[in-house]
Amino acid sequence: MTNNQEMIKAGNAMVKVLEAWGVDHLYGIPGGSINSTMDALLEEKDRIKYIQVRHEEVGAMAAAADAKLTGKIGVAFGSAGPGGTHLLNGLYDAREDHVPVLALVGQFGTGGMNMDTFQEMNENPIYADVSVYNVTVMTAASLPHIIDEAIRRAYAQNGVAVVQIPVDLPWQEIPAESWYASANSFQKPVYEHVDAADAQKMIDILAEAERPLIYYGIGTRGAGTELASLAEKMKIPMLSTYPAKGILPDRHPHYLGSANRVAHKPANDALPQADVILFIGSNYPFAEVSKAFKNVKKFLQIDINPAMLGKRHHADVALLADAKQALMKLVELAPTKEVSPWWQANLANIQNWHAYLDKLEHQTSGDLQAYQVYNALNAITNDESIFSLDVGDVNMLANRHLLLKPTNRHFTSNLFATMGVGIPGAIAAKLNYPDKQVFSLSGDGGAAMVMQDLVTQVQYGLPIINVVFSNQQFGFIKDEQEDTNAGYIGVEFNDINFAKVADAVGMQGFRVQKISELADVFAKAKEIAKTQPVLIDARISNERPIPVEAMELDSARFDAKTIADFKQRYAADDLQPFAHYLDQFGVENSQAEAQQGGF
């Protein structure tokens, strides 16, 4: 090495690697063991934006949301010990939803490692389960290379990469020419081949089916037109997993909704009676425990991931292919089928269900309910609005009442289902799409977990419309306890006036308690959110949303009093059992029922 060799701090090289991969912002809280990285971020502040959150969990959740929304890697960091462990909730969310996230974790300097010093511990085992790549940096020279490797692994395996960084290493200088980023070489696989013979087998089976269904998941995103074309051509009703909501317009006349509990009645009605299912781009995690496919005679599966083929049910025909390409081939091969009684019964059932939802949403008297809040929300959204949803009843209600088009985006914690993701996700959405309307939708339970980071929205001038549904309970769990427990415990809590919380952090807030107040408040919020964040605290009633997994409507199964009580409780006077439409169109009722499964 010559005396005039150009040098660079290892931390600066590390941050430049992030920049080369297109990372333009990251989240975290500084600490002694991460301060060398903070130094590098300070020097690179014109090229990468540091977002100070008030809890590392929020940073990791926002990083996961970055990846879910954009497909680009999200990045969060925490200092040694508690700063890093606080990241875990968001990292597990990313792991379960298979999105690329990089976590930078501080570590005591190399001179004090393995000496039981302050906040020093063997961090590697902590992150072993959550990650696809998990290493501790040993030398300054290897730091940028390890970050580059971590990002490539996270992308390649759609998972979490964790790098622990002893604090002394980023401050050390390394030769400026000793590192590089491989970002320019990164490519995603392109899947264009569709096996024509297997596609024809699928079409032949679907053409002979008496009660076929198309069951699609998020792997079909961008293929809504092809899904609708196949359904219309072959007269096959469609249902989806909940995360796939919005791939087709929510009130599409051939769309049954999703099944199980966060679900719609028509999907739960049709699924147990189906004889053939085309399962495409989907991972239905309740399939085995709910015995969802126990009555299916033929199961056809299309997936881009070979590990998914046959995972949830024995596949009679399995096709490894991109969903859109496969659907295009199926549409090409498909015959045009005549209207069938099965098709007619399902479409009538869908219409009846939509009328029920509309009735709830447009109620003008009585206590304020979540349904009317969603109606007011739908009135101020547009075709490109983005929705970050928390976890709980807010998922179930948004699934039924938030009206999306394929150009909208909505996301939540799909499989890990961690509460508190609504507000962090909205922060990520607004950072990535500053010109689009962004909402966070949370129950008061989830909002209370992360409400401190409302100030992050204010601090960075992120115009987000935050809606909190307040009813002083963990409603989703309370309803589970109604079904499975001897009584209620731990599911009710004191009220928080989130409008005052908003005011305390410098955000304009409204508390709505009457249906008549909704339109005016939501219109004001829409105007405010053109330039600054705003919060609406909707003080809703605490009744249970209709349990579509346990309907009590069919007179062949329930006595008149049970049906009358059920209809009265859920304002369901005009809601018909599926048996009514099966009988109307001459379809034999197999009397098969959906099972919830799970907890």
In this predicted model, what pLDDT tens digit does every residue of 495-514 receive, in sequence order? Answer: 999 999 999 999 999 999 99
Do residue 307 and residue 203 come from a single domain? yes
Whether 458 is catalytic = no
598 within some domain: no
pLDDT of residue 1: 46
Do residue 154 and residue 40 come from a single domain? yes
Q: Strand, coil or helix: what is 281?
A: coil
pLDDT of residue 164: 98
In the set 5, 47, 118, 544, the catalytic residue is 118
In the set 52, 119, 508, 595, the catalytic residue is 119
Which tens digits make up the pLDDT trace of 199-235?
999 999 999 999 999 999 999 999 999 999 999 999 9
- Whether 599 has a pLDDT exceeding 60, the answer reads no
Do residue 171 and residue 232 come from a single domain? no
pLDDT of residue 596: 67
Do residue 330 and residue 446 come from a single domain? no
Which tens digits make up the pLDDT trace of 261-312?
999 999 999 999 999 999 999 998 888 888 889 999 999 999 999 999 999 9
Whether 480 is catalytic = yes
In the set 95, 153, 211, 261, the catalytic residue is 261
Do residue 404 and residue 531 come from a single domain? yes
Whether 261 is catalytic = yes
Whether 56 is catalytic = yes
Do residue 253 and residue 332 come from a single domain? yes
In the set 477, 543, 557, 593, the catalytic residue is 477
The Cα-based distances of 259 to 143, 236, 238, 410 in angstroms read 47, 16, 11, 18
Spatial contact of 241 and 217, defined as CB atoms under 8 Å apart: yes
Give the count of domains, the chain. Answer: 3
Bin 173: left if φ > 0, else alpha if -120 < ψ < 50, else beta: beta
Do residue 107 and residue 225 come from a single domain? no
DSSP, res 590: -
Do residue 387 and residue 533 come from a single domain? yes
What is the rounded distance in angstroms from the CA atom of residue 276 to the CA atom of residue 313? Answer: 12
In the set 476, 510, 522, 566, the catalytic residue is 476
Do residue 200 and residue 291 come from a single domain? yes
How many residues are recorded in the chain? 599
Give the structural domain span for 287. Answer: 196-348
Domain termination residue (choose one: 513, 539, 565): 539
Do residue 307 and residue 443 come from a single domain? no
What is the rounded distance in angstroms from the CA atom of residue 177 to the CA atom of residue 4? Answer: 13
In the set 218, 391, 467, 512, the catalytic residue is 391
569 within some domain: no
119 within some domain: yes
Do residue 215 and residue 303 come from a single domain? yes
Whether 119 is catalytic = yes
Q: What is the CATH number of the domain that holds 76?
A: 3.40.50.970
pTM for this predicted structure: 0.96
- Whether 563 has a pLDDT exceeding 70, the answer reads yes
Do residue 111 and residue 47 come from a single domain? yes
Helix (H) or strand (E) holding 355: helix 341-361
Whether 251 is catalytic = no
436 within some domain: yes
Domain termination residue (choose one: 348, 376, 393): 348
Q: How many helices and strands (H and E) does the chain possess?
A: 22, 20
Whether 510 is catalytic = no
In the set 44, 56, 361, 549, the catalytic residue is 56
